[in-house]
Amino acid sequence: MADKVKKLGEAELEIMQVIWDNDSPVTSNFILKQLQETRKWQLSTLMTSLSRLADKGFVACDRSTGSNFYTALIPENQYKTGASRQFLEKLYHNSLRNMVAALYDDKALKESDVAELRDFLDKLEAAQNDSNGNDREAGNGD
C-alpha cells in the first residue's frame, strides 16, 4: 500500500494536534504550554519527541531565527485518512460495515449516533446524486 502513513504514538499525536491546530509555525515552548494540562513534561522530553517527529517526516524545524519554529509536513486530514484506513484494514478486514456492526452490537453506539450517521450518509448520497446530475446536464448541452 503506497499511502501507508507512519504511526504516531499517543504523545506524538498530541504534539501534532497542537501544531495542526495553529495556522502558523509554533515554538517548542508554545507546544509545552498547550500540553501542560495533559503532560507534565520537561522541555527536554518535548524536544526528544519533536526530534522523532522530524525523523519520521511529520514536522520541519526552521532554525533560521533565534527560536526553533515547527510546522507540520503532513496535513492533519492526510494523516487521519491513512490511519483510519490502516485501523479499518487491520481490525475489521477493511469493512466499514463490520466496524459499525461491532460497535452497534456492543451498545457502543447510541441511537443518536446511528441517527447522525444515517443523516450524514443521506447527505453524502444527495451530494453524489447532485454531482452526477450536474455532470449529465453539462454533457447534454448543445
Within a domain: 4: no
Return the sign of the alpha-carbon dihedral for residues 91, 93, 97, 102.
negative
In 21-110, which residue ranges form alpha helices assigned H by DSSP? 28-35, 43-55, 76-92, 96-105
DSSP codes, 89-102: HHHHTT-HHHHHHH
Query: Is residue 128 situated within a structural domain?
Result: yes
**Are both 127 and 81 inside the same structural domain?**
no
- Residue pLDDT, tens place only, 69-96: 999 999 999 999 999 999 999 999 999 9
Q: How many domains in the chain?
A: 3
Structural domain of 62: 10-72
Tell me the pLDDT tens digit for each residue of 9-58: 999 999 999 999 998 999 999 999 999 999 999 999 999 999 999 999 99
pLDDT digits (tens, 9 = 90+) for 59-70: 999 999 888 999
Is there a single domain that holds both residue 66 and residue 87?
A: no
Residues 65 and 115 in one domain: no
